[in-house]
């Protein structure tokens, strides 16, 4: 007699197969770089059997990889694909000048773009002797109390500005939480061309930032961090301005994607001589 079997009840009918696979990727974040199959299933809200199948496919596509300890992690393929995304292109164009800025100022430098109601940190550069920072590439930071955030906010449409100033969070005793005061600062930034934050995001840290402009307005903000003990504004502004100008020029050349179509993908980086 054939075994009795009822069809499996769908956990979440209406979710497409693709969205389920992508929810597996979403199970990973900064605090969960490696996960077991069961963790993935729980965090993605999927039955283990389903997660098992999807994980297998994602591994075959190298979007996930399996570690020797049988845990899973995001695969190198995702990293490579991510380098094609706009933040990576911006980073690539800016990197030499960020480098120059670190050398001339000896400070930690940041490059950030607007991402909804937060700033997305695109790159953070520092030598081993400069002070560490909480901001990491791919992470977010607040708009109303950091120098880079203020620059981005000052050049944002009113809707973004209003949203960000609706209820400014307090990070330190020096954080400005009065929307009116911040608005006046933002207006001043538009005329002065640079923004400051004095311990408003983190105690003991002072920062100054300037906008990076692309063909269609302000695309990013470039900031320099310094300990509060030596906030010589004049020392920072000149090299910062030079770097911002240089990056803006580089950015203008980028981003007009290659339109030509080639049937076979080629690696433009590394081809043997004929």
User: How many residues line the site for a second copy (CB under 8 A)?
Assistant: 87
Nearer to DNA, 43 or 118 (CB): 43
Nearest to 208 by CA among 188, 184, 232, 229: 232
Per-residue interface string for the shown chain with DNA, residues 19-58, x marking contact by CB under 7 A: -x---------------xxxx------xxxxx-xxx----
Give the one residue of 2, 30, 157, 263 binding DNA; rule: CB under 7 A: 2
Percent of the chain as helix, strand, coil, to the nearest 5: 40, 20, 40
Give dist(CA 154, CA 140) in Å, integer. 18
Phi, psi of 200 (to 5 degrees): -75, -25
> Hey, which residues between 4 and 43 contact a second copy (CB under 8 A)?
16-19, 21-22, 25-26, 28-34, 39, 42-43
Nearer to a second copy, 112 or 186 (CB): 112
- 5 part of the interface to DNA, by CB under 7 A: yes
User: How many residues line the site for DNA (CB under 7 A)?
Assistant: 31
Residue 82 interacts with which of a second copy, DNA, none, CB < 5 to 8 Å by class: a second copy
> Hey, which residues between 49 and 108 contact DNA (CB under 7 A)?
49-50, 52-54, 70-71
- Pair of tokens at residue 21: 């696979």
Nearer to DNA, 2 or 173 (CB): 2
- 232 part of the interface to DNA, by CB under 7 A: no
Quote the least distance from Cβ 51 to DNA, whole Å.
8
Quote the least distance from Cβ 115 to a second copy, whole Å.
7
Per-residue CA distances from 129 to 103, 125, 231, 250, 274 (Å): 12, 12, 17, 28, 45
- Pair of tokens at residue 269: 């980086």
Give dist(CA 87, CA 184) in Å, integer. 30
Alpha helices in the chain (DSSP H): 17-26, 37-44, 48-60, 76-82, 86-105, 147-154, 158-164, 179-192, 233-253
Give the one residue of 13, 157, 173, 274 binding DNA; rule: CB under 7 A: 13
> Hey, which residues between 50 and 89 contact a second copy (CB under 8 A)?
54, 57-58, 60-61, 63, 65, 71, 73-76, 78-89
> Hey, which residues between 208 and 237 contact a second copy (CB under 8 A)?
none
Stretch that binds DNA, among 16-24, 89-97, 137-145, 242-250 (CB under 7 A): 16-24
- 249 part of the interface to DNA, by CB under 7 A: no
Nearer to a second copy, 229 or 260 (CB): 260
Quote the least distance from Cβ 262 to a second copy, whole Å.
7
Burial bucket for residue 13 (CB in 10 Å: 0-12, 13-18, 19+): exposed
Give dist(CA 115, CA 132) in Å, integer. 23
Q: Give the residue carrying structure tokens 């299933």.
A: 41
- Pair of tokens at residue 179: 């929307």
DSSP state of 253: H
Question: In the complex, which residues of this chain contact DNA (CB under 7 A)?
Answer: 2-3, 5-18, 20, 36-39, 46-50, 52-54, 70-71
């Amino acid at each position: 007699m054939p075994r009795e079997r009822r069809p499996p009840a769908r956990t979440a009918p209406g979710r497409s197969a693709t969205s389920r696979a992508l929810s597996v990727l979403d199970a990973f974040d900064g605090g969960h770089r490696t996960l077991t199959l069961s963790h993935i299933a729980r965090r993605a809200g999927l039955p283990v059997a389903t997660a098992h199948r999807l994980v297998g496919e994602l591994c075959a596509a190298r979007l996930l990889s399996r570690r020797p300890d049988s845990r899973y992690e995001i695969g190198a393929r995702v990293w490579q694909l991510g380098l094609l995304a706009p933040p990576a292109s911006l980073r690539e164009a800016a990197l030499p000048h960020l480098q120059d800025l670190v050398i001339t100022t000896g400070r930690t430098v940041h490059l950030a773009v607007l991402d909804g109601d937060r700033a997305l940190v695109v790159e953070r550069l520092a030598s081993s002797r400069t002070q560490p920072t909480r901001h990491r590439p791919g992470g977010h930071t607040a708009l109303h109390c950091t120098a880079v955030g203020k620059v981005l906010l000052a050049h944002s449409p009113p809707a973004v500005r209003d949203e960000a100033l609706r209820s400014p969070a307090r990070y330190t005793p020096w954080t400005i939480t009065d929307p009116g005061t911040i608005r006046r600062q933002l207006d001043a930034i538009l005329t002065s061309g640079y923004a400051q934050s004095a311990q408003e995001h983190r105690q003991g840290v002072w920062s100054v930032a300037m906008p990076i402009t692309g063909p269609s307005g302000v695309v990013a903000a470039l900031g320099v961090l310094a300990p509060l003990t030596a906030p010589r504004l004049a020392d920072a502004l000149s090299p910062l301005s030079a770097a911002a100008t240089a990056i803006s020029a580089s950015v203008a050349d980028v981003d007009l994607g290659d339109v030509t179509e080639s049937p076979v993908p080629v690696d433009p980086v590394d081809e043997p001589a004929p």
